[in-house]
Amino acid sequence: MTEQPRRLQVLQAIVEDYVALSEPVGSKAIVERHALGVSSATVRNDMAALEEEGLIVAPHTSAGRVPTDKGYRVFVDRISEVKPLSPAERRAVQALLDSEQDTEHMMEATVRLLAQLTHQVAVAQFPHEDGSTVRHLELVSLTPTRVLAVLILSTGRVDQRVVPLERLVAEDDLAALRLLLLQAMIGRGAGQAAALLDAAVTGVRPEQRPTADALVGAVRSLLEAGRQDRIVMAGTANLARSTGDFGASIGPILEALEEQVVLLRLLTEMEQDAHGVSVRIGSENAGSLADTSVVAAAYGPGAVAKVGVVGPTRMDYPGTMASVRAIARYLSRILTP
Q: What is the mean pLDDT of residues 59-86?
A: 86
Angstrom CA distances, 267 to 203, 277, 280, 304, 334, stand at 45, 11, 10, 10, 21
Q: CB-hemisphere CA count at 13 Å for 291?
A: 16
* Cα-based angle 183, 186, 188 (whole degrees, multiple of 5): 125
Residue 219 has pLDDT above 70, yes or no: yes
13-17, 24-28, 79-83, 194-198: lowest mean pLDDT where? 79-83
Residue 62 has pLDDT above 70, yes or no: no
**Which of the 8 DSSP states describes residue 171?**
H
Residue 1 has pLDDT above 60, yes or no: no
Q: What is the mean pLDDT of residues 245-272?
A: 80
Can you tell me the distance from the alpha carbon of 30 to that of 34, in angstroms, rounded to the nearest whole number?
6
Q: Torsion-angle region of residue 64: left (phi > 0), alpha (psi -120 to 50) or beta?
A: beta
Can you tell me the distance from the alpha carbon of 271 to that of 297, in angstroms, rounded to the nearest whole number?
8
Q: What are the tens digits of pLDDT across the range 108-145?
A: 889 999 999 999 999 998 876 556 788 999 999 998 89
Runs of H (alpha helix) within 22-162: 27-33, 40-52, 69-77, 87-98, 103-118
- 134-225 matches 87-128+229-335 in CATH topology: no
Strands 66-67 and 56-57 turn out to be antiparallel
Fold for domain 3-77? Arc Repressor Mutant, subunit A (1.10.10)
Which pLDDT band holds residue 330 (cuts at 50, 70, 90)? confident
Q: What percent of the chain has pLDDT over 70?
A: 91
Q: What is the mean pLDDT of residues 266-281?
A: 85
CB 168 within 8 A of CB 124: no
Can you tell me the distance from the alpha carbon of 279 to that of 309, in angstroms, rounded to the nearest whole number?
10
- pLDDT reported for residue 243: 65
Q: What is the mean pLDDT of residues 7-20?
A: 93
Task: Name the architecture of domain 134-225.
Answer: 2-Layer Sandwich (3.30)
Closest C-alpha to 267, from 238, 296, 310, 291 = 296
Where along the chain do its domains lie?
3-77, 87-128+229-335, 134-225
Q: What are the tens digits of pLDDT across the range 285-310?
A: 878 888 899 999 998 766 778 999 99
User: What residues have CB less than 8 Å from 228, skipping those under 6 apart?
Assistant: none
Burial grade of 82 (CB within 10 A; 0-12, 13-18, 19 or more): buried
Question: Hey, which CATH number is domain 87-128+229-335, 1.10.101.10, 1.20.1560.10, 3.30.450.40, 3.50.50.60?
Answer: 3.30.450.40
Angstrom CA distances, 96 to 109, 113, 121, 236, stand at 7, 8, 19, 21
- pLDDT reported for residue 128: 63
- pLDDT reported for residue 129: 58
Q: What is the mean pLDDT of residues 152-181?
A: 89
Can you tell me the distance from the alpha carbon of 231 to that of 260, in angstroms, rounded to the nearest whole number?
7
Mean pLDDT of the chain: 86
Phi, psi angle pair for 102, to nearest 5°: -85, 130
Sign of the four-CA dihedral 190, 191, 192, 196? positive
